[in-house]
Each structure stands twice: as structure tokens, then as C-alpha cells.
Amino acid sequence: MTDGVREEDRVRLAPGVMLRQDRVRGHWQLLGPERVLILDEVALEVVRAVTAQPPATVGTAITALAAQFDAPRDEIAADVLELLGDMIAKGFLTR
């Protein structure tokens, strides 16, 4: 499910959500009111890419991630759009 996320969208952290590193447990997480999402390395890179300053479009972030991971852009795009859709549906990100 992509929740309608398109490559021309700009995605940001939802109000009240913060990207934080848990230094004790050694992982990154999105902290929101009454919820936590533990990020693996790939999810962390996606969140960083789409929430970078200045704001990038999702498509620009996908292109950068495809180059960073030396992977086919269409495969990266499908995975990123699905991940972003899930994070939006869970209230961690917004457009």
C-alpha cells in the first residue's frame, strides 16, 4: 500500500514526531506521541533522504538512494513508496 505517495510529493516528519538515536540500545527510532518505530538501516536512510533540508521530493530521494545502494531505481522506488505509505498510515510521516 502506498497511501497515494507519489514521487513529486514532499514528505516530512509528522507533528510531534522526532528522529532520535537510542544510544543505549544502539538503534535509531521515530518517536511520536505514545508510539515508537524502530528503524533498520534502510528505513533510516529513507527517512533521512526524504526529510533532508532543503526538502527533497520523494523522486529525488529515490534517485539518490538508488545511487547510494547501487540498485535499480525502479526496485528502490517500489520499496520506498511502500515504506513511506506505511509510515504515513501509522502517523510518523506526513505530506
Residue 59 is predicted with a pLDDT of: 97
Instruction: Pull the grid cell for residue 60.
Output: 529525488
Quote the pTM value: 0.90
CATH topology of domain 12-94: Arc Repressor Mutant, subunit A (1.10.10)
**What whole-number distance in Å separates Cα of residue 86 and Cα of residue 91?**
9
Ordered by start, the domain boundaries in the chain are: 12-94
Is residue 36 classed as helix, strand or coil in its secondary structure?
Answer: strand
**What whole-number distance in Å separates Cα of residue 20 and Cα of residue 83?**
19
Residue pLDDT tens, the chain, 95 long = 444 899 999 999 999 999 999 999 999 999 999 999 999 999 999 999 999 888 889 999 999 999 999 999 999 999 999 999 999 999 999 99
Residue 54 is predicted with a pLDDT of: 85
Residue 39 is predicted with a pLDDT of: 98
Q: Is the peptide bond before 54 cis (omega within 30 degrees of 0)?
A: yes
Q: What does the longest C-alpha to C-alpha distance in the chain come to?
A: 37
